[in-house]
Every structure is written in structure tokens, then in C-alpha cells.
Amino acid sequence: MTAPAAPLRVLVTDPIISRFAAVLDAGGHETVLAPGRPDEEVAAALPGTDVLVCSRMTEPMARAATGLRLVQVTGAGYERIAVGALAPGVAVANTFHHGPSIAEHVVMVALMLSRRVLRKDRLLREGVWESVTTDPDLPLGTTLAGRTLGLVGLGETGGRVARLAAALGMRVQAVRRDPAAPLADGPRLDRVLPPGDLPELLETSDVVVVTVPLTDRTRGLIGAAELRRMRRTAFLINVARGPVVDERALYEALAEDRIAGAGIDVWWPDPGGTGRAGSTMPFERLGNVVLTPHNSGHTRETFENRARDIAANIAALAEGRPLRNVVHPG
């Protein structure tokens, strides 16, 4: 018989994943919950810890983490992990499961913009019944069916958006780094273009959805020149990272009605829970923008599945099995 794995010491600093401690505790390991604690307290708790479950790890934390074996990031992005300061042999893994929730958010925002839901809701709360039945000069809303959705990026999130959009009767096109690469789970697309054809995608899409990760290559990818290529009737929805889209250029395009609207879920920078503004431009004054606080993927299903992934990786580490979703082997 194989001897049972020795329990690991697991430190959890992510506030959301801490809600699912019962899932993380299923393996009988020593789980210490420290959500939202100051950096100094986290660093002091790291010696002797085997696994850190977090969304952020500073260089001082990494240097204090003597004996650490795994940094388990609680989402897909790991740009806030000081990977370069980790000791040799410390692996970093991430997790996903946000694609379905973000895809639903994208469709919701596209429908809100195309049906002018924000304006209708505001006026009705003010006692104004605005309808084409009483004012024949009002513009009509549009359906998504028959329109073209253009994806800038085609990873997990882009693939999920593609499937939902196609199910609604939209034509779907995308630009991706390798157009010939197989599509995960088979989303139906009308065409997949190389990055150099981004201008064509922008010119021919009614809804442009940005899903690429933030890198040196994608920072400022959608700027003033790219926004000028979009149709005046088109919408831009950014669920990637704020700096992929030029902040001032987007504000000016919206304020001047050079594009019809936008959905902004990610910011410049993301203020997190600080209460600070996520932009230097007054997007909140515009009537053609749906604003959300980087919560497009924040559903119970997302975090329950992530907690299960994390628990599975902790069990694998304890039992000497390969880890999943390793982004830095250590």
C-alpha cells in the first residue's frame, strides 16, 4: 500500500477563494486563511508554508517564502506575481473557468448597447416613457442576429464568446497569432485572420470584443488609428486588460460619436478594492458606455471551479503527481 501523503501547509490570501475554504480543505491539509492581510503579515507567515494561494505576491513575500513549493494563482493572469524573485524549484500555476461567465457578460453588454437599455432605464426612472410608439422619430434598436462580431484574441474567453455569438445568429470572425491553430471545443467562426489583418476585422465588425492578454506586444493595440477604422454604428467591448486599449483615444471616439458605444470592464490601471477611479477620463459622463468594475467573470461557477482546480493541484503536489496549468516550472 502507498503511504498517505503528508499534509501540506497552505496559506490562502485571496479573499474570493477564501469563501470556498471547504473545497480547499477537502484534502485534510493545514489551510491558513489570511484574506486581505497586510503584506508584512503575509511575508511573516510564509516561512514553512508549502503552497501560497494568491492573486498577488510581492518580491519581499517571495524572498520570505523559504520552503515554498507552489504559488497557485487564483485566476489566469499572473503578472502580479514576482516570479523572478522566487527561489529555484518553486512552481507557479494558474487556473481559468472564467470563459463562460465573461462570454455571457459580453452578450449582455452588446444587447444593452444595441437596445439602449441604459437610456431607457434612466428615463423611465425619471418618469419619462420614451418609445417609438409615442415618438416615431426615435431610432430603433437592433438585434444581434445577422450582425458581425469580431474577436481580438481567441483563447478560452474568445472561444466561449464565439460559441454564444454564433448561437445567437451572429457572424463571427477573429484575429489571432496563429490563424491555422485548432480551435478549442470547436467554436464556429466564419473566418480567422492573422494579426496583420486587424484593420480589416475592425472595419467589418459590428461588435469588437477584446480578449487578448496584456503583453508588450498588445499594450495600446487598439489606439486612435484602430478606432477610426471601426464603423460609427459599432461597439467595442473590452474584457481583457485596460491598457490593451488606449484610454484617451477610446474616450474621444465615444464622446465624438465616432463609434456607437463601448463596454468597459477593465481599467487603467485596475483599482481593485481601493475605491480609486480606474481612469483619468470621465467615462461615467457618457451615455453610450456600460461600465463594470472588472467583474465580468465573477460568478459562483467561476470560483467554485477554480477552487476545485486549486484543491486538485494541492493534492497532486502532496502525492508527487504532475501539476496542472503550470506557467513557471520553477
pLDDT at 21: 93
More confident residue, 28 or 255: 255
**Where do we find the cell 497586510?**
38
pLDDT tens profile 209-258: 999 998 999 999 999 999 999 999 999 999 999 999 999 999 999 999 99
Q: How confident is the model at residue 26 (pLDDT cuts 50, 70, 90)?
A: confident
Q: How far apart are CA 271 and CA 143, in angstroms?
A: 34
More confident residue, 269 or 10: 10
CB 14 within 8 A of CB 37: no
Q: Percentage of the chain with pLDDT > 70?
A: 96
pLDDT at 27: 78
Delineate the domains of the chain, giving CATH numbers in brackets. Answer: 9-97+300-328 (3.40.50.720), 99-291 (3.40.50.720)
Rounded (5°) CA angle 28-96-153: 170
What single DSSP character describes residue 34? Answer: -
Q: What's this model's pTM, rounded to 2 decimal places?
A: 0.91
pLDDT tens profile 72-131: 999 998 989 999 999 999 999 999 999 999 999 999 999 999 999 999 999 999 999 999
pLDDT at 205: 98
Q: How far apart are CA 92 and CA 68, in angstroms?
A: 11
Segment 1-9 shows an average pLDDT of 70
* Grid cell in block for residue 8: 501540506
Residue 44 has pLDDT above 90, yes or no: yes
pLDDT at 275: 59
Residue 271 has pLDDT above 80, yes or no: no
pLDDT at 272: 67
Q: Which residues pair with 92 in a beta bridge?
A: 71, 328
Q: Which residues pair with 171 in a beta bridge?
A: 148
pLDDT at 188: 81
Q: Percentage of the chain with pLDDT > 90?
A: 88
* Grid cell in block for residue 124: 423611465
Sign of CA dihedral 118, 121, 126, 131: positive
Q: How far apart are CA 12 and CA 108, in angstroms?
A: 33
pLDDT at 4: 57
Task: Round the average pLDDT of the chain to a whole number and report it.
Answer: 94
Residue 270 has pLDDT above 80, yes or no: no
pLDDT at 276: 62
* Grid cell in block for residue 269: 490601471
Q: How far apart are CA 225 and CA 202, in angstroms?
A: 11
Q: How confident is the model at residue 1 (pLDDT cuts 50, 70, 90)?
A: very low
| Amino acid of residue 62 | A
DSSP calls for 283-327: GGG-SSEEE--S-TT--HHHHHHHHHHHHHHHHHHHHTPPPSSEE
1-5, 255-259, 262-266: segment of lowest average pLDDT: 1-5
pLDDT tens profile 288-318: 999 999 999 999 999 999 999 999 999 999 9
